[in-house]
A and B are shown apart, each in its own frame.
Chain A
Amino acid sequence: MTQPKTIIEKIWDKNVVHEEEGRPGLLYIDLHLVHEVTSPQAFEGLRLKGRTVRQPKLTFATMDHNVPTVHTNVIKDEISKIQMDTLRKNCEEFGVPLAGMGHEHQGIVHVIGPELGLTQPGKTIVCGDSHTSTHGAFGALAFGIGTSEVEHVLSTQTVWQQKPRTLNVKIDGKLGTGVTAKDLILALIAKYGVNFGTGYVIEYTGEAIRSLSMEGRMTICNMSIEAGARAGLVGPDETTVKFLEGRLHAPKGDTFEEAKKMWLSLQTDEGASYDHTVTLNATDVEPQVTWGTNPAQCIPINGTIPNPDQAKTENDKNEIKHSLKYMGLEADVKITDVPIEHVFIGSCTNSRLEDLIQAASIIKGRKVNPSVSAIVVPGSQTVKRKAEELGLDRQFIDAGFEWREPGCSMCLAMNGDAVPPNERCASTSNRNFEGRQGADARTHLVSPEMATAAAIAGHFVDVRTFN
């Protein structure tokens, strides 16, 4: 019998073009996603050397980082406009399919890939964006690359990669009511730190992962990079297959059946070994809120803000002090006593239809607190359309939220949607770094449900008892 293998090894073996002992392997890329911010210099590089795009059919572009979410017909920011026009020109010149501004499929690159059925089990997927790990939810090996590598993939359809070391993150137990995939991944990073995944590809396993929807799995895989791992994935199962059936770019008919067989065969074999394993029990996880400036600085909703004097090392003490100062917080205060001024529901972590349905379910006829300004930014045009069919837009608008056009928006505040200096935002995005949502903006990462509850209450509240 052959050696049992993990899904990570199976995909690697399937896609490696060339391998030599002690050197990176040349890995063939099945899907290359492109957006306006990290691609212009790559296309320019091709032009300068007279090179072409090797496989335009395996390449797909959209616009998300810079796009305005209001008044989308006039792009006021001249420089953003140049970047978008540049992408359009590049796609035309090199024959790359594009869902740009105004296209019915435009949206955040990590939302549209799965939605259109481009993201499939077993594929190697890259994009000039660290949250490419999101696509791992389908059992794909998906990771972010830099612009030089974008140029390399455009030109050769390959990247040089060190064969990944494997990390099994085993999450057993059941999530409680009101506790989401977002809380699970935040709790995991809080427990093991922001770099426990560095150098690894994570496979998420265990009962809690199996019972998650594809949307929940995407939220988990999305934040793998926040644990330092370039990629995180979940073995494909019936949930995966069902999600893909009938999608625009998914195989059809007999080919679908053939693909399905291949997909399901990618699951990690019984007895395969990983380089490392960590565990978490989902039953213990409570709704989470980050208090600091990295995603590991995170506490359960009923917790208090840490005191630097209780830190274990001098370094930790300094980090906590620095973060508290930036965040304008006092030690030992209950997180539920912290008032907020902004709420952002969106980003590739939590802007899919399921997230919006869950966020809206908390409203129950109530209104956004007058001291809070809250926006909802659907992840894609498709999400927006479907949400509107369900009447979610009305529910949000009636409650006092703004209902915006799709894009990255306030997740990184490049398009003008920003949190003002020293103001506080409950955000469903993935990074609470200094200045991420605007200069001196204070970000607290939460689930969509927790974000809605905070919007209504005007401060953080436990969504489980918020009635």
Chain B
Amino acid sequence: MEPLVKHLGLVYPLNRANVDTDQIIPKQFLKRISRQGFGQYLFYNWRYDEKDRPREDFSLNQPKYQDASILVGGENFGCGSSREHAPWALEDFGFRVIIAPSFADIFYNNCTKNGILPVILKEAETEQLIKNAEADDYFLTVDLEEKKIYDNQGFNATFDLAEYSREMLLNGWDEIAVTLTYEDKIKAFEQTHIVY
């Protein structure tokens, strides 16, 4: 996966709580057997009507957000199905950072394994960012080394991320390769472990 150290990006605000992975990528697109190309189907039922025409009232269809790479959402973001197609779709669309007051566990985890940085901020902070991003050309800088987020208008916040996930993202490591360095321990464990 692509390392993520410091990212400057255009912000897209999605002001809804409990955005579930069925919304992020509807099931009709889960039949593909590759990891690529899911971006065009991101938020499909919100972005397109029954005749596959873009819905004007959905904010991600506005021209000003087309190059967004940072999404700010509401609480419990990514709840529901474990489908990793959700982060694949977000990543393929161009998102590298998702900011929310809280995340569903599996989704959070899936993000970190696909080069997407999930950032938990306080609700007051995400609300502020959502407001700021209603304006044109609102950019944020996300610094994973310093665990800081800021803009050029005075917004400044810090966030936390488990050290393990931080290292993975900073280096873009292949997790399996890391685990295989524990091969001896796994082997030793298997010698005595009983599975009925």
Within 8 Å CB of A315, what residues of B?
17
Known: A160-B179, A294-B18. A18 touches B30 (CB 8 A): no
Q: Which of A78-86, A207-215, A334-342 is the interface stretch?
A: A78-86
The reply to whether the CB of A152 lies closer than 8 angstroms to some CB of chain B is: yes
The 4 A-B pairs at the shortest CB distance, nearest first, are namely A146-B84, A40-B33, A146-B110, A144-B82
**A-binding segment of B3-11, B19-27, B53-61:** B19-27
B96 within 8 Å of A by Cβ?
Answer: no
Q: How far is the CA of A113 from the CA of B56 in the complex (A)?
A: 46
Does B102 sit within 8 A of A, measured CB to CB?
yes
User: Contacting chain B: which of A172-180, A360-368, A429-437?
Assistant: A429-437
Interface residues on A, range: 35 or more
The reply to whether A155 and B176 contact each other, CB–CB distance below 8 Å, is: yes
Q: How far is the CA of A433 from the CA of B22 in the complex (A)?
A: 7
Q: Complex: how many Å from CA A40 to CA B193?
A: 29
C-alpha spacing A18/B183, complex, angstroms: 11
Main secondary structure of the interface of B (DSSP, over half): loop
Given A23-B163, A148-B84, A151-B176, the answer on whether A230 and B106 have CB atoms closer than 8 Å is yes
Interface residue? B62 (CB, 8 A):
no
Which residues 278-328 of A sit at the B interface, judged by CB distance below 8 A? Answer: 294, 315, 319
Partner of B45, one of A82, A198, A251, A439: A439
Among B23, B114, B176, B193, which residue has its beta carbon within 8 angstroms of that of A434? B23
**Contact call A198/B164, Cβ cutoff below 8 A:** no
Cβ-based interface call for B146 (8 A):
no
B87 to nearest A CB, angstroms?
A: 8
B135 on interface, CB distance cutoff 8 Å: no
Q: Which of B51-97 contact A (CB under 8 A)?
A: 75-76, 79-84, 87
Contacting pair A146 B113 (CB below 8 A): yes
Q: Does B136 contact A (CB under 8 A)?
A: no
- Measured as residues with beta carbon below 8 angstroms from the partner, the interface class of chain B is 35 or more
Within 8 Å of chain B (Cβ to Cβ): is A106? Answer: no
Q: Whole-angstrom distance between the alpha carbons of A431 and B22 in the complex?
A: 10
CB-nearest residue of chain B to A128: B82
Smallest Cβ-Cβ distance to B30: which chain A residue: A37
Task: Evaluate whether A198 and B35 lie within 8 angstroms (CB atoms) in the complex, with A28-B189, A435-B45 already known.
Answer: no
| Interface of chain A residues 237 through 262 with chain B (CB within 8 A) | 250-251, 255, 259
Q: Contact: B113 with A86, CB < 8 Å?
A: no
The reply on B124 being an interface residue by CB < 8 A is: no
Q: Decide if B33 touches A44 in the complex (CB within 8 Å).
A: yes
Q: Is the CB of A41 within 8 A of B34?
A: yes
B35 CB contacts on chain A under 8 angstroms: 41, 44, 147
Is A28 touching B106 in the complex (CB atoms < 8 A)? Answer: no
Q: Which residue of B lies closest to A251 (CB)?
A: B196
Cβ–Cβ contact B45 & A195, under 8 A: no
Specify the main secondary structure of chain A where it touches its partner: loop
Note all chain B residues with C-beta closer than 8 A to A149.
109, 113
Is residue A397 contacting chain B, with contact meaning CB distance below 8 A? Answer: no
A110: interface (CB < 8 Å)? no
Minimum CB–CB distance for A326 against chain B, Å:
11
Q: Does A115 contact B (CB under 8 A)?
A: no
Q: Would you call A160 and B76 a contact (CB within 8 A)? A: no
Judging by beta carbons under 8 Å apart, are A194 and B79 in contact?
yes
Query: 1/0 contact trace for A30-74 toward B, CB 8 Å?
Result: 110000011011001000010100000010000001100000000
Indicate whether A421 reaches chain B with its CB closer than 8 angstroms.
yes
B186: chain A residues within 8 A (beta carbon): 17, 26, 28, 156-158
Please list 5 pairs of residues, one from A and one from B, whose beta carbons are closer than 8 Å in the complex, sorted by A's number: A17-B189, A26-B182, A86-B33, A148-B175, A156-B180
Is B28 interfacial (CB-CB < 8 Å)? yes
Q: A-facing mask of B157-195, CB < 8 A → 1, else 0?
A: 000001110000000000110011010011001100101
B196 and A160 contact, CB distance less than 8 A: no
* Shortest beta-carbon distance from A437 to chain B in Å: 10
Q: Which residues of B lie under 8 Å from residue A155 when comparing CB positions?
A: 176, 179-180
Q: Complex formed: what's the CA distance from A158 to B81 in Å? A: 21
Does A206 make an interface contact (CB < 8 A)?
A: no
Whether B80 contacts A433 by the Cβ 8 Å rule is yes
| Cα A255 to Cα B17 with chains together (Å) | 50
When A23-B163, A195-B102 are in contact, do A17 and B50 touch as well, CB less than 8 Å? no
A148-B175, A251-B196 as given contacts; A83 in contact with B106, CB under 8 Å:
no
Besides A148-B114, A255-B196, A435-B22, 5 more A-B contacts (Cβ < 8 Å) are: A17-B186, A26-B179, A28-B186, A160-B179, A198-B104
Given A146-B82, A148-B110, A439-B50, verify A18-B196 contact (CB < 8 Å).
Answer: no
Q: Which residues of B sit under 8 angstroms from A380, Cβ to Cβ?
A: none
Q: Does A371 contact B (CB under 8 A)?
A: no
State whether the Cβ of B105 lies closer than 8 Å to any Cβ in chain A.
Answer: yes
Query: Shortest distance in angstroms between B123's beta carbon and chain A's nearest beta carbon?
Result: 10
Q: Once the chains bind, are B80 and A147 in contact (CB under 8 Å)?
A: no
* Minimal beta-carbon separation of B21 from chain A (angstroms): 9
A145 and B82 contact, Cβ closer than 8 Å, known pairs A198-B104, A431-B22: yes
Q: Which residue of the partner chain, among A80, A86, A152, A250, contacts B175 with CB atoms under 8 Å?
A: A152
Report chain B residues within 8 Å CB of A77: 31
A349 at the interface (CB under 8 A from B): no
**In the complex, which of the residues A37, A146, A156, A421 contacts B176, with contact meaning CB atoms closer than 8 Å?**
A156
* Candidates A28, A120, A156; contact of B193 at CB < 8 Å: A28
Q: Pick the residue among B17, B81, B105 that contacts A228 (CB under 8 A).
A: B105
Q: Is the CB of A130 within 8 A of B22?
A: no
Q: In the complex, how many angstroms separate the beta carbon of A325 from the nearest chain B beta carbon?
A: 13
